[in-house]
Structure 1
Amino acid sequence: MQCCISFCISHILESQMETSLLTQLTPYFLSFLLLLLLLEQISYLKKKGSIPGPLLVFPFIGNAFSLVTNPAKFWDVQSDLAKSANTGFSANYIIGNFMIFIRDTELSHKVFANVRPDAFHLVGHPFGKKLFGEHNLIYMMGQPHKDLRRRIAPNFTHKALATYTSLQQIIIVKHLKMWEKLSSESAPNPITLRILARDMNLETSQTVFVGPYLAHEARERFKNDYNLFNVGLLKLPLDFPGTAFRNARFAVNRLVKTLAHCTKQSKEKMREGREPSCLIDYWMQETLREIAEVKATGGEELPPYSSDAEIGGYLFDFLFAAQDASTSSLLWAVTLLDSHPEVLAKVREEVTGLWSPESDRLITAEMLREMKYTAAVAREVVRFKAPATLVPHVAGEDFLLTETYTIPKGTIVFPSAYESSFQGFTEPDRFDPDRFSEERQEDVVFKRNFLAFGAGAHQCVGQRYALNHLVLFIAMFATLLDFKRHRTDGCDDITFVPTICPKDDCKVFLSKRCTRYPNLSVC
């Protein structure tokens, strides 16, 4: 009995000592934590220096919450700070990273022109390496990047683009029919175009890039995985089971494997000497020729960037670049045509003068080249609402941005293509396709401000394809359908998803404009 009592007393004393020790250590722990937070704040202020930006930031998370919950407002504030201080750039802090926002065109060009190991690394997304992996087109630089772009070039020749033009139109008409039917069934309520346009673009990208190599079941899985990827793009990089970011990362891996399998099938088809029917065929036709040349000289190793897995990764880069930016431009095209009926009338006049909407034939490459005003409208849509508003880079080393400010190593730098689009141009706040006419040629005069497709070594390699797609969509949408926006307060405000789109996701009423759609099955 005495032993039990002694044990209980001893246990109580030990517990009290542990509680007392914890109580004694708590102030030291809190002091250490406060010291770390103070050092973090001092580090931020030291990097910021005299440039505009918030004086106080939340520990570690910084202003990430406002960036995620209301990105349009976040970037507007950064722009206003840069304007008010007349510096052309401003600072902030997100997820433990110091960041610089650049609105000045010439300073943006400094970043685009210095993508190299000792200056800036293009990241495409603040946490892109975790999503896309280390080895893809976005992160390449120097000679390897030049070599890969040279191998990609055959994918965008006039012959290749003409092939894609046919594929694009078949998908566009198919979806316009679906939209018109859906609008009829939904009357008197409007339909929302964003998801519909995204689905159309995804099918277009799949068809143009890998054509016959995706079976119906594979396309459905592909669509689901790409949706997971899209959701994860705008979430915090919490890489834990069940999080949207983790789901997106795994989805990317599955997408790349699928595209690698398509690459393998294309190689087999091109070895048979058949004509290319999609982008991967044009690519593999040249790749097989290069492999044959290596073997002819006694080489045993494959040329660089020619394995199925590598090309699958690069195809995903194409998909990422084409999908959401294109969806953004299509939605803004509908919005701007609706609010500028004089522009819409001129588009319809030009298109119907070259192509009969009720014919059983496609718009040819020659017709497309003659649609100069419609092409000007497409370029003005891209200028006026640059879809990829920002192009994130990371400073590989300290970089002298101006005579008075050096960007510290490790800083995330955001050159703004959107802001540049409103600098230099005549009346830049006015939607004016005529600025790109042969008479005014503002695309030449203010070329440095037209940064929607980037600049420098990493300028978008597929910009001609992207513009062709937008021209074709505008031509067919405007001539095959009558449409009216369902306008509400703030419906045209910008929202990020992840590229910019109208806040209401573009709600419209649609009806058939022609007696019938083109019977493209006979083409």
Structure 2
Amino acid sequence: MARKVFNSPAYVKPCVVDVAHKLLGADNWVFLDGKAHVDFRKGLNGLFTRRALEIYLPGQEEVYNRYFKDFVQMTKDAGGKAVPFMPAFREIITAVSCRTFVGHYISDEAVKKIANDYYLITEALELVNFPIILPFTKTWYGKKAADMVLAEFAKCAAKSKARMAAGGEPDCIMDAWIAQMIHSKKWRDAQEKGVTIEGLEKPTHVLRDFTDYEISQTVFTFLFASQDATSSAATWLFQIMAQRPEVLDRVREENLQSRNGDIHAPVNMDQLESMTYTRAVVRELLRYRPPVLMVPYVVKKPFPISETYTVPKGAMVIPTTYLALRDPEVYERPDEFDPERYYTGDAEVKGAKNYLVFGTGPHYCLGQQYAQLNLVLMLGKASLLMDWKHHATPQSEEIKVFATIFPMDDCPLSFEDRKW
């Protein structure tokens, strides 16, 4: 049933709370439908190829190296006692996203401000908020935060355009996109003049030139799409690994071998892809604790969703990922965390249609490979550089929803440098 909704663009389109149009911009590409949406996505596909993802790795490792030191220091500052780490995970994910999306065009201070203020954007998108923006309400603070992020990203776009025009090499998503625009313009100009330029091949997708604001708006949607979901996954990942030291030890051993015993060695895409057990852990984590439980769609015209019921136009229909990911006919002991089902088991094949973590159909998540490899990188580096302990409370396994799902107690942890 969920797949039917995801795969029925003729009848439904994704919808969000009314204020989202005011925060993200009513003309944002995420609100496009049909051919306009498909065409826009095609121009973004090149930003998430395997080759592109490898370009972003150094910036991500730089962030993790810095923040993991902060994790240890936070524990020391607390006298070795547990610290609720959910806010810290939201900040580190914001930082790694900003470095991936806009590279070093943005300052550390701006990244920290975005990380702190992103709470306000998430709060503004709660279903119970007023659809109008009134001073000093959640939606008002969220709009101010969103405007700040858009302004920062627009500055980054201007800097990226200048660097790419001067022949710089891309090292972030914004660079890669603008480089495609420059390539497309050279191709269009050559076609208009009827000349052939040696070595200039036709781009896979010929892009128009986007304004700084349009680029900023689009990159902001990447942050919007990734921030809460990846923060949720990271929080559960560290809690569950601390609860299962035997699993963490296997992750640690695999990552140590892939780096030939050097815990500080950077990794490339071949190494990341070779970490089959770590990838199985991430895959299972996303099945066991899927960050996004529900995806609201609005019905564009009467939708015969089953033989006995037609959803009326204008209604909201909400497919859930949770039930498909806990289907006992596909996943043996579905309520248990078991990476073996993706390492030596048949869950990848048997559950191919059930794995709706990133959706399916025309609106599937563009960054699904990026998100999973990013978590593999994060967990692998953390396993080599740190030891950590989960300080369980009666609410540790209770779930709260803050856009996505988190432990009710905000995941109390303590970290220390790993002594090999």
TM-score (norm 1): 0.73
Letter in 1 for 2:302: D
The question of 1:149 aligning with 2:37 is answered no
Structure 1 counterpart of 2:188: 294
Q: SS at 1:261's partner residue?
A: helix
Structure 2 counterpart of 1:372: 276
The question of 1:227 aligning with 2:119 is answered yes
| RMSD (Å) for aligned C-alpha atoms | 2.0
Structure 2 counterpart of 1:265: 159
Stretches (4+) displaced over 6 A: none
Structure 1 counterpart of 2:68: 176
Take 2:47 and 2:115, find their aligned partners in 1: how far apart are those partners?
24
The answer (yes or no) to whether the contact 1:380–1:431 under 8 Å persists in 2 is yes
Gaps of at least 5 residues in structure 2 are 194-205
Q: SS at 2:383's partner residue?
A: helix
Q: SS at 1:265's partner residue?
A: helix
Letter in 2 for 1:297: Q
Take 1:216 and 1:374, find their aligned partners in 2: how far apart are those partners?
30
The Cα of 1:239 is off from its aligned counterpart by 2.1
Take 2:139 and 2:221, find their aligned partners in 1: how far apart are those partners?
18
The question of 1:204 aligning with 2:96 is answered yes
Take 2:72 and 2:111, find their aligned partners in 1: how far apart are those partners?
23
Q: SS at 2:388's partner residue?
A: strand
Take 1:338 and 1:391, find their aligned partners in 2: how far apart are those partners?
30
- Trace 1:154-165 onto structure 2 (pairs within 5 A): 154-165=46-57
The Cα of 1:304 is off from its aligned counterpart by 4.5
Segment drifting more, 417-426 vs 252-261 = 252-261
Q: 1:236 aligns with which of 119, 129, 132?
A: 129
The answer (yes or no) to whether the contact 2:94–2:114 under 8 Å persists in 1 is no
The question of 1:248 aligning with 2:142 is answered yes
Q: 1:285 aligns with which of 175, 179, 189?
A: 179
Letter in 2 for 1:440: G
The answer (yes or no) to whether the contact 2:60–2:100 under 8 Å persists in 1 is yes
The question of 1:449 aligning with 2:354 is answered yes
Structure 2 counterpart of 1:8: none
Q: 1:409 aligns with which of 302, 313, 316?
A: 313
The answer (yes or no) to whether the contact 1:357–1:514 under 8 Å persists in 2 is no
The Cα of 1:455 is off from its aligned counterpart by 0.6
Segment drifting more, 489-498 vs 208-217 = 208-217
- Trace 1:71-86 onto structure 2 (pairs within 5 A): none
Take 1:242 and 1:514, find their aligned partners in 2: how far apart are those partners?
48
The Cα of 1:486 is off from its aligned counterpart by 0.7
Deviations 1:235-286 (A, max 9, x none): 5125211111122123323322322222222111111111111111111111
Letter in 1 for 2:233: S
Letter in 2 for 1:432: D
The answer (yes or no) to whether the contact 2:283–2:372 under 8 Å persists in 1 is yes
- Trace 1:335-484 onto structure 2 (pairs within 5 A): 335-355=239-259, 359-423=263-327, 424-437=330-343, 439-484=344-389
Deviations 1:5-42 (A, max 9, x none): xxxxxxxxxxxxxxxxxxxxxxxxxxxxxxxxxxxxxx
Letter in 2 for 1:491: S
Take 1:305 and 1:492, find their aligned partners in 2: how far apart are those partners?
48
The Cα of 1:291 is off from its aligned counterpart by 2.0
Q: How many pairs align?
A: 404
Q: 1:265 to 1:136 in 2, by over 3 A?
A: same
The Cα of 1:288 is off from its aligned counterpart by 1.2
Identity %: 31
The answer (yes or no) to whether the contact 1:225–1:254 under 8 Å persists in 2 is no
The Cα of 1:200 is off from its aligned counterpart by 0.7
Q: SS at 1:187's partner residue?
A: coil
Larger RCO, structures 1/2 (Cα 8 Å, 6+ apart): 2
The Cα of 1:452 is off from its aligned counterpart by 0.7
The answer (yes or no) to whether the contact 1:357–1:480 under 8 Å persists in 2 is no
The answer (yes or no) to whether the contact 1:124–1:138 under 8 Å persists in 2 is no
The Cα of 1:213 is off from its aligned counterpart by 1.3
The answer (yes or no) to whether the contact 2:297–2:317 under 8 Å persists in 1 is yes
Gaps of at least 5 residues in structure 1 are 1-106, 516-523
Take 1:388 and 1:215, find their aligned partners in 2: how far apart are those partners?
30
Take 1:406 and 1:305, find their aligned partners in 2: how far apart are those partners?
43
Take 2:315 and 2:253, find their aligned partners in 1: how far apart are those partners?
50
Letter in 2 for 1:436: Y
The answer (yes or no) to whether the contact 1:126–1:412 under 8 Å persists in 2 is no
Structure 1 counterpart of 2:200: none
Take 2:143 and 2:168, find their aligned partners in 1: how far apart are those partners?
36
TM-score (norm 2): 0.90
The answer (yes or no) to whether the contact 1:388–1:452 under 8 Å persists in 2 is yes
Deviations 1:190-213 (A, max 9, x none): 011111111111111111110121
Take 1:233 and 1:143, find their aligned partners in 2: how far apart are those partners?
27
Q: SS at 2:318's partner residue?
A: strand
Letter in 1 for 2:268: T
Q: SS at 2:353's partner residue?
A: helix
Q: 1:351 to 1:156 in 2, by over 3 A?
A: same
Take 1:132 and 1:388, find their aligned partners in 2: how far apart are those partners?
19
The answer (yes or no) to whether the contact 2:263–2:385 under 8 Å persists in 1 is no
Q: SS at 1:487's partner residue?
A: coil
Q: SS at 1:277's partner residue?
A: coil
The question of 1:139 aligning with 2:66 is answered no
Take 1:124 and 1:164, find their aligned partners in 2: how far apart are those partners?
30
Q: SS at 1:509's partner residue?
A: strand
Take 2:298 and 2:55, find their aligned partners in 1: how far apart are those partners?
37
Q: 1:221 to 1:508 in 2, by over 3 A?
A: closer
Structure 2 counterpart of 1:187: 79
Q: Which has the larger radius of gyration?
A: 1
